Structure 1
Amino acid sequence: MNELTVIQATQGLLRHIQTTFQNKNDSLAVVIGFDARHQSHEFARLAAALFAYEGIHVYLFDSTTVPTPFIPFTVKQLHCQAGIMVTASHNPKDDNGYKVYWENGAQIISPLDAQIAQSIEQNLEPWKDKAWNLNILQDKNSKLISDPIEKIRDLYMSNLSKLCYFPELNASTPLKFVYTPVHGVGQPYAERSFAAFPFQPSIPVDEQKKS
C-alpha cells in the first residue's frame, strides 16, 4: 500500500459512490479516519482531498487518530454514503490497510466489493490537478472539509453509557482492570469508556501507551 494505490482506490470508490447515489449528488458525504501506523495520516488526507475536489463533503478526523468503530458510527450518525478507515488492525506494524464502509455502517461485502474493484480498475490514472494536491485541505473557507472529532466522541460515549444498566454497582465495585493499549490508538478512548460506565479508571501498561 502506497500513495498511488490509495489514490487509485479512492478514485474508484468515489466514482462508484457518485454513480450509486446520483439522486444525492448535491448532498454526498463521506467520513475518513486513520490510526497511528506509518503514513496513515498522509493516506487519509490524500483520500480526503480527492473527495473534496469532487464536491463531496468530507468528515475528516484530521486532528487525531481514532479507533475503527468511530467510522461506521459516524457514517450512521451523519448520514454519510461511505466511510474509510486507514488501518491494518492487528497486523504487523509495517502493514497498512484501507477499510471501506457503506451507508449502512457495515464493511463492504459481495457484490459491492467487486463493483468497487471494477470501478478502481477503470480509474487507475491519477486525476490531473487533484491527485497529490492537498491545497483544498488548507482552505479555511472551504465548507467541504470538517473535523467531527468532538461531536462524534461525545455522541459515541453518550451512546455507550446508555448500555450501562448498573451504574451505581459499577461505581462502587472494588474490581480493578488492567488495560493494555499494545501501542494502538485506544488509550484515551478506553479511559472515556471506563468513565462512561462508570468504573474506576483502568490501570494502563505504561510501556504500551504510546501509539
Structure 2
Amino acid sequence: MERKLREAKAERERLLKEREERQRRQKEQESLKIQTDASKPEPHDDDEERLQINSTHRNLEQGVPLSLTVNFDLRAHVEALGHNVTGCMGVNLSPRRCGGFLTKRGGRVKTWRRRWFIFDLDHQRLAYYTELDEKKLKGVIYFQAIEEVYYDHLRTASTSPRPSLTFCVKTYERLFFLAAHSAEAMRIWMDVIVTATDEHSRY
C-alpha cells in the first residue's frame, strides 16, 4: 500500500514538473515572438509608396488602365511625367480630378465651341459643360468607351481654331476633336485622359 502511495506521489510530481516545463517553454516562445515583432521595422511612408508603385507596375504589365489603380494620384502621376502643373494656367489638377476649358468640335454641326471639361476618376468619366459653373451636363465620355488619345498630326480637324494644339479622343462610337489653349495644357490633358485607357502600357 505504501509502495503504491509512493508511486502515485512520484507520478504526480513528474506530471507537475512536466506541466511547469511546458509553461516555461511556452513563455519563452511568447517572449521570443514579442522581441522578433518589436525588431521588425514599422512600414514607413516610403514603403507604402513602394507598394503603390509596385501595384502601378503590375497594372502596367497587365494592361489595366491607370485610373483603376488603387490609390492612384492623378496630379502626382502628371507631375512625375515632367509637367509643370502649377505653372500651367487654366488647368486645375487634383489627385482625383482635372478641370479646364477646351474647345470642342461639334458632332453633327462641325462648329467649335468652348466647353468646361472635368476628368473625374471617382465617376470614371470625362464630362463637359457649357460653362464652369453650369450644373447640367452637355455631354459625357465614359472611361471604358475611350480607345485612344493622340495628337492630330494629320490636321484632320482642318477647321480647328488652333490646329497645332488640337488632339483627338477616340471612343467606340465617335472621334472627339479638342483644342487646348497652350501646348503645355494640351500635353497635360492628353496624359490625363490616356490614364483612362490601357494605351499607357504600350508606350
TM-score (norm 2): 0.20
| TM-score, normalisation: structure 1 | 0.20
The answer to which structure, 1 or 2, has the higher relative contact order (CA under 8 A, 6+ apart) is 1
